[in-house]
C-alpha cells in the first residue's frame, strides 16, 4: 500500500507541473495613473525556440477605472528591432457595470490570452512592451500590468 501511495504522489506531482508559468512579471503603474509615455517592459531570455507558449496579459484595476473596456498594444522587440506590434481590446465590465474577473478588496484582476501556442522565432533576449491606447492621459485606476508565459 505505501508503494502505491508513493507512485500516485509521483504521478500527481509530474502532471501538476505541466502548465506552470515559464515567465510572469507585473509592473506597477505609479500612483495608478498610467501616462501615455509609460510603457512597461518585460524582458525574456529565450533558450529554446522550439517550445510553445501561451501568452497572457494580466491587468489589475481599481473601481475608479472609468471605462468598461481597455484598449492596449503589445510590442515585441528583439535586438532593438520591433518584430511585431498588435492592438487588443479587453472587456472589463458587464453591460450592467459589474466588473469582470477576480476581485480582492478594491482590486479587480483580468487576464487575456493573446497568443496560443506561440513560438519564438529564435533564441535570445526579447522585450515585450505594453502601452495603453485609451484617450485619457493619464489613465486612472490601473494598478499594474503584466506578462505571463505558460510553457506547454
Determine the structural domain holding residue 79 and report its residue range: 20-151
| Coil/strand/helix, residue 13 | helix
Which residue in the block uniquely carries the three cell numbers 459589474? 98
The total of structural domains in the chain comes to: 1
Model confidence over 19-66: pLDDT tens digits?
578 999 999 999 999 999 999 999 999 999 999 999 999 999 999 999
Give the pTM: 0.82
Which stretches of the chain are assigned E, i.e. beta strand?
21-28, 33-34, 41-46, 53-61, 69-78, 81-91, 102-104, 107-118, 124-132, 139-140, 142-151
* 48 within a domain of the structure (yes/no): yes
* 132 within a domain of the structure (yes/no): yes
Residue 10 CA to residue 24 CA, distance in Å, equals 26
Model confidence over 102-111: pLDDT tens digits?
999 999 999 9
Mean pLDDT of 124-130: 95
* 101, HSE (Cβ side, Cα atoms, 13 Å): 23
Amino acid at each position: 500500500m505505501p508503494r502505491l501511495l508513493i507512485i500516485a504522489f509521483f504521478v500527481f506531482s509530474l502532471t501538476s507541473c505541466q502548465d506552470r508559468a515559464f515567465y510572469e512579471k507585473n509592473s506597477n503603474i505609479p500612483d495608478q495613473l498610467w501616462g501615455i509615455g509609460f510603457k512597461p517592459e518585460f524582458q525574456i531570455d529565450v533558450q529554446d525556440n522550439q517550445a510553445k507558449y501561451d501568452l497572457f496579459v494580466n491587468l489589475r484595476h481599481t473601481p475608479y477605472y472609468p471605462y468598461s473596456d481597455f484598449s492596449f498594444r503589445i510590442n515585441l522587440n528583439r535586438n532593438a528591432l520591433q518584430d511585431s506590434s498588435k492592438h487588443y481590446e479587453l472587456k472589463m465590465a458587464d453591460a450592467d457595470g459589474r466588473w469582470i474577473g477576480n476581485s480582492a478588496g478594491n482590486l479587480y484582476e483580468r487576464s487575456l490570452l493573446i497568443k496560443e501556442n506561440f513560438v519564438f522565432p529564435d533564441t535570445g533576449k526579447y522585450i515585450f512592451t505594453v502601452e495603453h491606447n485609451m484617450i485619457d492621459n493619464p489613465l486612472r485606476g490601473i494598478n499594474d500590468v503584466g506578462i505571463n508565459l505558460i510553457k506547454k
